[in-house]
Amino acid sequence: MAQIDAPASAADLPSLDRLLREPAMAALLRCHGRQRVLKWLRTDLRHLRLRALEGRLSRSTLLTDAIVMRARQALQAQDRERLRAVYNLTGTILHSNLGRAPLPAAALEAVRMTMTCAVDLEFDLDAGRRGSREARACASLCELTGAEAATVVNNNAAAVLLLLNTLADGRQTIVSRGELVEIGGAFRIPDVMRSAGTRLVEVGTTNRTHPADFIDAIGPQTALLMQVHASNYAITGFTAAVDTRRLAALAHAHALPLAVDLGSGSLIDLAALGLPHEPTVEQTLRAGADLVTFSGDKLLGGPQAGLIVGRRELIARIDRNPLKRALRCDKMRLAALEAVLALYREPEFLAERLPVLRLLSRCDDAILAQARRLLPPIQAALTPDWNLDAVPMYSQTGSGAQPLERLPSAGLCIRHALGGRHGGDLKRLSARLRQLPRPVLGRIGDDALWLDLRTLEDADEAEFLAQWAHLAEDDGGCG
């Protein structure tokens, strides 16, 4: 052994040809093909040569079995680098880093079909000629919001960009200072305005904006008035804002359009489901907005998309903008969106069929009962270092929707058995949960790890529980 582990020199490296002929290599070549295996072996040999030159290469590293094993592991690791399903137990239901809204089964079916079959994406089957890819989704949007016309693009950021570029390129757009928000992921209203080619005119102050502020700012260069849903923050205290109805009247008195970026934009009154109120798209249009933009994958509960609804002639101009072609949605997204919008036609079933609303409207008593049910098996999987409790907690909608509202929820609270501060241990525990076959994501706060169970539906419980055994297996517990 001592001899085997003696340092190796670059001259001891095996040749590629010899390695490829090794019997142990046959299975890898069969599995992954010659090109991929060769590419990896070249990388590995280059790396080994460097180590040899530094005098840090041991002979055991050069054994064929060791080289084959490294190759197998490296190629398998590459294959694992894909999007993975995780359990979002962060308490944020529409989590932008975790893919926002889960889609209903009806949408999955529609997407699967477009992925495997030719579809009438831009083909009018009745007329036998070219049609519009968005026509079906837009017809539903008009029906559900009372809008004259609609259009669909890649996401809401694209919708705002396209709208501003179409209506206000080279001219001014007036926005209240209190609404110049940053949504996250580098979406800042002033930056979007600049990219769209419109000049931002800020009016009012951070906390108070009055109708006269807008009136004073309107001039020959003004193209548009815009209102932006503050989404992820709220100004409270001594505040004043001009509501949509007032602002629309004011815009129209000056022959200008009003655009409202609702961000989340719900299609139904959430209060009817016992949830916090959020202005609906229909209400915003009825209040006089000429155009309303909102996301497909926030409260709407569909795929990523940007939806623009409003006056027919304005939508027609937007559709003629060459940027529209660059921002259009693909067939999978449109299929999912159509399926989700179809569910809105039957609103009494919505809270059951649409995952986002089903999760948002889950009752906290039921979630607490679920937490109590899950506690014993999970406690058993943790080392005695950790104490587990089933406790009430609060979820939030996320993605900028209803930032101040907290939804009573419940879940598991994991604390160190010794009490006190154990930040490092908590971080390690949370890292271990991220290494489970389907990673579990919670949130750390107040010296505890919190797993909000609102987003774990009863049907997923068995699968969720099954994998906790891995925690004990891998390193004799965790912590």
Ligand X SMILES: *Cc1c(COP(=O)(O)O)cnc(C)c1O
Residues forming the site for ligand X (CB under 6 A): 155-157, 160, 183, 187, 228-229, 231, 261, 263-264, 295, 306, 399-400
Nearest by Cα to 338 from 132, 161, 159: 132
Closest approach, Cβ 155 to ligand X, in A, equals 3
β-bridge pairing 182-184 and 448-452: unpaired
Rounded to the nearest 5°, which phi and psi values hold at 205? -120, 175
Closest approach, Cβ 156 to ligand X, in A, equals 3
Distance CA 296, CA 291 (A): 16
With respect to ligand X, which residue has the nearer C-beta, 262 or 449?
Answer: 262
Query: Which residue spans within 317-445 are E strands per DSSP?
Result: 386-395, 407-416, 440-441, 443-445
Q: Which residue is nearest to ligand X (CB)?
A: 263
321 close to 162: Cβ distance less than 8 angstroms: yes
Nearest by Cα to 409 from 440, 367, 373, 356: 367
479 close to 425: Cβ distance less than 8 angstroms: yes
With respect to ligand X, which residue has the nearer C-beta, 90 or 231?
Answer: 231
With respect to ligand X, which residue has the nearer C-beta, 164 or 413?
Answer: 164
Closest approach, Cβ 231 to ligand X, in A, equals 4
User: Residue type at 452?
Assistant: D
With respect to ligand X, which residue has the nearer C-beta, 262 or 314?
Answer: 262
Distance CA 282, CA 139 (A): 15
Tokens of 455: 């987003």
Distance CA 464, CA 222 (A): 56
Distance CA 185, CA 304 (A): 15
Distance CA 30, CA 478 (A): 38
Closest approach, Cβ 201 to ligand X, in A, equals 19
Closest approach, Cβ 103 to ligand X, in A, equals 15
Radius of gyration of the chain (CA): 28
Closest approach, Cβ 84 to ligand X, in A, equals 22
Distance CA 343, CA 302 (A): 11
With respect to ligand X, which residue has the nearer C-beta, 45 or 157?
Answer: 157
Nearest by Cα to 193 from 185, 201, 203: 201
Residue 389 bridge partners (DSSP): 413
Closest approach, Cβ 223 to ligand X, in A, equals 19
Distance CA 22, CA 408 (A): 62
Residue with tokens 């009003």: 258
With respect to ligand X, which residue has the nearer C-beta, 61 or 227?
Answer: 227
Torsion-angle region of residue 30: left (phi > 0), alpha (psi -120 to 50) or beta? Answer: alpha
Closest approach, Cβ 168 to ligand X, in A, equals 16
With respect to ligand X, which residue has the nearer C-beta, 305 or 429?
Answer: 305
With respect to ligand X, which residue has the nearer C-beta, 233 or 349?
Answer: 233
Closest approach, Cβ 318 to ligand X, in A, equals 16
With respect to ligand X, which residue has the nearer C-beta, 178 or 411?
Answer: 178
Closest approach, Cβ 434 to ligand X, in A, equals 25
Handedness of CA 273, 453, 229, 102 (dihedral sign): negative
With respect to ligand X, which residue has the nearer C-beta, 156 or 283?
Answer: 156
Closest approach, Cβ 184 to ligand X, in A, equals 8
With respect to ligand X, which residue has the nearer C-beta, 218 or 267?
Answer: 267
18 contacts: CB under 8 Å, gap ≥ 6: none
